[in-house]
Amino acid sequence: MRPDSVSKYKPFPKVALSDRQWPDNELSQAPIWTSVDLRDGNQALINPMSVDQKLEYFEMLVEIGFKEIEVGFPSASATEFDFIRRLVDEKRIPSDVTLQVLVQAREHLIERTFESLKGVPKAIVHLYNSTSTLQRKITFRDASREDIKAIAVEGTKIVKRLVPTLPETDVRFQYSPESFSDTELDFALEVCEAVQEIWQPTKENPMVMNLPATVEWCTPNVHADQIEWFCRNLKDRESVLISLHTHNDRGTGVAATELGLMAGADRVEGTLFGNGERTGNLDIVTVALNMNSHGIQTGLDFSNLRQIRDTYERMTELEVAPRQPYAGDLVFTAFSGSHQDAIKKGMDRMEESKYWGVPYLTIDPKDIGRNYSKDIIRINSQSGKGGMAYILQTEFGLDIPEKMKQVVGNTLANFADKKGTEIEPQEVYDAFAENFVNITAPLTLDKFHFERESEEIVTCFADLALNGENFSKEGTGNGPINALVNIIGQIVNKDFKVLDYRAHSASKGSSADSIAYLKLQNESGESFWGVGRDASIGKAGLLALVTAWNRLRLGVK
Per-residue pLDDT at 353: 87
Per-residue pLDDT at 376: 80
Number of other CB atoms surrounding residue 212 within 10 Å: 21
Same structural domain, 123 and 228: yes
Per-residue pLDDT at 395: 87
Q: Which domain holds residue 352?
A: 337-435
Give the tens place of pLDDT for each residue, 272-318: 999 999 999 999 999 999 999 999 999 999 999 999 999 999 999 99
Looking at the predicted structure, is the pLDDT value of residue 508 above 70? Answer: no
Same structural domain, 234 and 262: yes
Same structural domain, 348 and 448: no
Same structural domain, 111 and 248: yes
463 to 21, 330, 411, 466, 472: CA distances (angstroms): 83, 51, 31, 10, 4
Which burial class, exposed, middle or buried, applies to 198 when counting CB atoms under 10 A from its CB (0-12, 13-18, 19+)? middle
300: left (phi over 0), alpha (psi -120 to 50) or beta: beta
The CA distance from 289 to 217, in Å, is: 26
Looking at the predicted structure, is the pLDDT value of residue 510 above 60? Answer: no
* Residue 249 domain flag: yes
> Across residues 506-512, what is the average pLDDT?
65
* Residue 461 domain flag: yes
Q: What is the pTM of this model?
A: 0.83
* Residue 6 domain flag: no
Helices 51-64 & 305-316 angle (0-180, nearest 10): 160
Partner residues linked to 243 by β-bridges: 210, 267
Among 316, 348, 372, the domain boundary falls at: 316
Q: Residue 102 is part of a domain; what is its CATH number? A: 3.20.20.70
Among 405, 435, 465, the domain boundary falls at: 435
* Residue 25 domain flag: no
* Residue 322 domain flag: no
Same structural domain, 385 and 458: no
Same structural domain, 81 and 124: yes
Which comes out higher in pLDDT, residue 383 or 519?
Answer: 519
Give the tens place of pLDDT for each residue, 19-52: 999 999 999 999 999 999 999 999 999 999 999 9
* Residue 138 domain flag: yes
Give the tens place of pLDDT for each residue, 119-147: 999 999 999 999 999 899 988 888 999 99
Number of other CB atoms surrounding residue 109 within 10 Å: 18
Same structural domain, 205 and 112: yes
Same structural domain, 287 and 426: no
Which burial class, exposed, middle or buried, applies to 553 when counting CB atoms under 10 A from its CB (0-12, 13-18, 19+)? middle
* Residue 328 domain flag: no
Same structural domain, 253 and 271: yes
Same structural domain, 369 and 231: no
Same structural domain, 164 and 306: yes
Q: H or E segment at 69?
A: strand 68-72
Which burial class, exposed, middle or buried, applies to 396 when counting CB atoms under 10 A from its CB (0-12, 13-18, 19+)? buried
Per-residue pLDDT at 177: 97
Looking at the predicted structure, is the pLDDT value of residue 337 above 80? Answer: no
Same structural domain, 414 and 464: no
Give the tens place of pLDDT for each residue, 56-84: 999 999 999 999 999 999 999 999 999 99
Looking at the predicted structure, is the pLDDT value of residue 381 above 80? Answer: no
Q: How confident is the model at residue 113 (pLDDT cuts 50, 70, 90)?
A: very high
Indicate the residue type of 126: H
Among 435, 467, 487, the domain boundary falls at: 435
Looking at the predicted structure, is the pLDDT value of residue 512 above 70? Answer: no
Nearest in space to 100 (alpha carbons), one of 73, 82, 130: 73
Per-residue pLDDT at 267: 98
Domain count, the chain: 3
Indicate the residue type of 547: T
Looking at the predicted structure, is the pLDDT value of residue 555 above 80? Answer: yes
Looking at the predicted structure, is the pLDDT value of residue 432 above 90? Answer: yes
Can you say whether the dihedral through the CA atoms of 396, 401, 406, 407 is positive or negative? Answer: negative
Q: Residue 462 is part of a domain; what is its CATH number? A: 3.30.160.270
Nearest in space to 378 (alpha carbons), one of 443, 324, 310, 425: 425
* Residue 120 domain flag: yes
